[in-house]
A and B are shown apart, each in its own frame.
Chain A
Amino acid sequence: MARVVLRNVTKRFGDHVAVSGLNLDVEDGEFLVLVGPSGCGKSTTLRLIAGLEELTEGEVYIGDRLVNGVPPRDRDVAMVFQSYALYPHLTVYDNLAFGLRMRRRQLGLSKGDIDRRVREVARTLGIEPLLGRRPKQLSGGERQRVALGRAIVRHPKVFLFDEPLSNLDAQLRVEVRRELKQLHRRLQATMIFVTHDQIEAMTLGDRVVVLRDGVIQQVDTPQRLYQEPANLFVARFIGSPPMNLLTGRLRSEGDVVRFETDGFSLSLPPAAVPSSEIGRIVLGIRPEDLSLAVERANNYNVGKAGRMQGRVEVVEPMGAQQLLYVAVGANALAVLSRSEENIQPGQSVPLVVRVDRLHWFDPDTERRLVVGTATLER
C-alpha cells in the first residue's frame, strides 16, 4: 500500500508531447481512474508510473520513494494489460507464480510459500480448476481473471490497470467491474485504472482524472465531475447521453433574464445565471434535467421560467426511460423522459428545464462559470 505522487511529469516522444506538466496525488488505498479519449496520455501516464517509459521531466514517487530511473521490477507495482499478456507457454499456475519466482531470493520465499500464495489467490478468484491449463485453453473472462491473479499474488504496493475490461463482452464487463470494486475494498490497495469509457470511470473511481492532450482537465469524485464539470470538454465527455450545449447570450428583461439563442429564448430567474448581461455564453443542460411539461410540471413550479416549446424528432426507447431528440429553434435537445409517456415523432411538446441545474461556460476559455459570480460582461 502506498501513495503515488506525480510532480510536473512530462513525457515527450520526439516532437509529440504525450503528457504535459502533470501533477497528481493518489492517496493510499484510493481507486483512481484516468479517463479520456484515445491519445490523451492516460496510458502513457500509467506506463510512466510502471517504469515502462522514461520520464522526460518531473518526478514520480511511489510510497515516499522517488522512483525516477528505477527499473519496473524494483518499483513493486503490478500491472494488468488490456491484452492480459499471459505467458502463452506457461500454465495458469506458472503464470501466477512467475513474478514470485523471478524475485524469490529478494522476497525470501520458499517453494512452499509460493505454492500457498498461488493457490490462495486462485481460490479467491475461483480459478483453481484452471491451474493446469494454458492461456490458449481459457475463455476471455478466465484469462482476465488470471491476469488479475498474477497481479494480486505479488501483494504489490500499487495496482495499475491498462483498460483491462475493454476486451470483454458487455455483460462480463459489468460483472468484472463489480468484482474489481469488491476486490479493491477487500485489499484496500492503491489502484490506478486507465479507461476511455466514462461509464467505467464513473462506476469504479473514488476519484476520476479527466485527461485531454496530456493535460489534466479535472480531478474529482464521479459525482462532482458530473454535477460540476470544470470545462466544456469534461461536460461533453462525462455523461451518457451527453449534455446539451447551446451557445447564446444573456439579456436582462424586467425581473427575469433571457437566454437567447438561434430560434428561441428561455426566461430564467436571475439566481440561475452567472450574470444578467453576457454577450456570448454556453448553456449546458443534462438530458435528465429537461422534461416534458405535461409529465412533471408540478415538480418544476417556476412559473414561466425555464419553459420552451419543441417538436419531437426521434424517439429512442431505452427500457425504463426513453431518449427524445426535440427540435427547439435551431437546436436539437436530448431529453430523457419516462417510458410511460406515449410520444410520437413529429409531436409538439412543451419542455421544462430544471433551472437550479444549469451549467454555464465561457465559450472562449471553455471554463465553467459559477452562477452569480461571473465578472465577464460583454
Chain B
Amino acid sequence: MARRDSQGWLFVLPAVIWLLAVNVGPAVYMVGHSFFAPRYSEERGASVRRWVGLENYRRFFAEDQLVHSIWFTVGVAVVSVAAELALGLLFAVMAWRATAFGIRLWRGLFAVPMLMAPVAVAYLATTVFAHEVGVINGLLHRLLGVPFESLPRWRSDRFWATLAVILVEVWQWTPFCFIVFLAALAAQPEDLREAALVDGAGEWQVFWHVTLPCLRPVLLTVLLLRLIEALKLFDVPYGLTRGGPGTWTQTYSMWIKEVAFTRYDMGLASAMSTMLLLALTALGIAVLPLLRKQLAISEEP
C-alpha cells in the first residue's frame, strides 16, 4: 500500500512542480510584492525593497483612474460576453439543423476570427475603424451618403471608441461560443426532442423548454470562461485605441501595465494585480457551485 502511494506521488510530481513553478510561485511572489515599495539604498547604490504594509492598497483605492477603469472593464466585458453568447447561440441553432450545400465549409470559415491573435486583430481593426479611410466609414459615406463631418469618430469619441472595442471583441469571440454551442447541440440526444414533440410541444416550445435548459451547463461554462477572459481584456483596446480618447478605453489590465512599465510602480501594480486575482477567484467561486449543480442534473442518466 505504502509503495503504491509513493508511486502515485511520483506520477503526480511533474504536475505539482509545474503548478508550483508556473502558477502558484509567481502568484505568491506578486502578492508578496504588493506589500513592498522600492527604495534607493545609498550604501548599496541600488534599489532595494522596503516593507510598506498595506500602503500600496491605500494608494490603489486613492487612484483617480480606479472607478472608471473598473466600470469600463466590467461594462465592456458584460456587454460583449452577453452579445457573444447570444449571437453564438443564435448562429449555432441556425447551423445546427441546416443541411445546405457547403454548410461544413461555412462552419469552418466561421471559426477563422478565433484563430487570429487578438493583438493582430486589434491592429487590423485600426484600418477598419479609421476615420476617413476606414472600411466602415467608407461604406457609411459612399453607400449611405453620410457626410464626412457626421461620420462616427471611432477612435476619438468616447461612445464610438467603446463600441469599436466591443465590436472587435464580439467579432473575435462569437465563433468560440458558436463552435462550443454547436457541439453541445449536436451532442443532445434526439430522443429528448422527439419525446417533447410527441408530448405536444411545438418546435419553439421544444427549444425553450427542452433544448435550451439542457444547454445550461455549457452556457454557464462558456459564460465563466469568457467573462474571466474579458475581465482581463488588454490586446484589443491596446492595439485599437491605445486606451483613448484620454484614458477612457483603458481597461484594468492596461492600467496595470501602465503603472508597472510606464510609472515603474511595481508595488502598486502588484497590489492591483492581486485585487484582480481576488475578484476573478471570487467570480469563479460564485459560479462553480451553480455549474456543478447543473452538471449533476443534466448528466446523461
A and B: partners?
A: yes
Residues of A within 8 A of B (CB): 50-52, 71-73, 75, 77-79, 81, 83, 85-90, 98-99, 102-103, 134-136, 138, 143, 150, 154, 160
Given A81-B194, A136-B296, CB of A86 within 8 Å of CB of B199: no
Chain B hits for A138, CB < 8 A: 301
Binding site for A on B (CB under 8 A): 189, 191-192, 194-202, 205, 209-210, 213-214, 216, 296-301
On chain B, the residues within 8 Å of A150 by CB distance are 195, 199
Answer whether A99 and B200 are a contact pair too, CB < 8 Å, given A79-B195, A81-B191: yes
Q: A102-B200, A102-B201, A102-B202 are in contact. List 11 more A-B contacts (CB 8 A).
A: A51-B197, A72-B198, A73-B197, A73-B202, A75-B198, A85-B189, A85-B192, A88-B299, A99-B199, A134-B297, A136-B301
How many residue pairs bridge A and B at CB < 8 Å? 85
Q: Tell me the smallest distance from the CB of A15 to a CB of chain B, in Å.
A: 18
- Shortest beta-carbon distance from B185 to chain A in Å: 15
Cβ–Cβ < 8 Å partners of B210 in chain A: 87
Most B CB within 10 A of own CB, among A71, A86, A102, A135: A102
Q: Which residues of B contact A73 (CB under 8 A)?
A: 197-202
A88-B301 contact given A73-B202, A98-B209, A102-B205, CB 8 Å threshold: yes
Q: Which residues of A contact B213 (CB under 8 A)?
A: 87, 89-90
Structural contact, A81 and B199, CB atoms closer than 8 A: no
Q: Give the shortest distance, in Å, between A313 (CB) and chain B (any CB).
A: 45
**A-side contacts of B216, CB under 8 Å:** 89
Query: What is the CB-to-nearest-CB distance from A106 to chain B, in angstroms, rounded to a whole number?
Result: 8
**A71-B197, A150-B199 known; A85-B300 Cβ under 8 A:** no
Q: How far is the CA of A86 from the CA of B297 in the complex (A)?
A: 12
CA distance A103 to B197 in the complex (A): 11
CA distance A71 to B213 in the complex (A): 23
Q: How far is the CA of A194 from the CA of B240 in the complex (A)?
A: 63
Q: How far is the CA of A78 from the CA of B201 in the complex (A)?
A: 12
Q: Which of B192, B197, B198, B296 contacts A87 (CB 8 A)?
A: B192
In the bound complex, what is the Cα–Cα distance between A274 and B195 (angstroms)?
50
On chain A, the residues within 8 Å of B297 by CB distance are 88-89, 134, 136
Least Cβ distance of A45 to chain B in Å? 15
In the complex, A88→B205 CA distance in Å? 16
Question: Do A88 and B214 form a contact, CB below 8 Å, given A72-B197, A138-B301?
Answer: yes
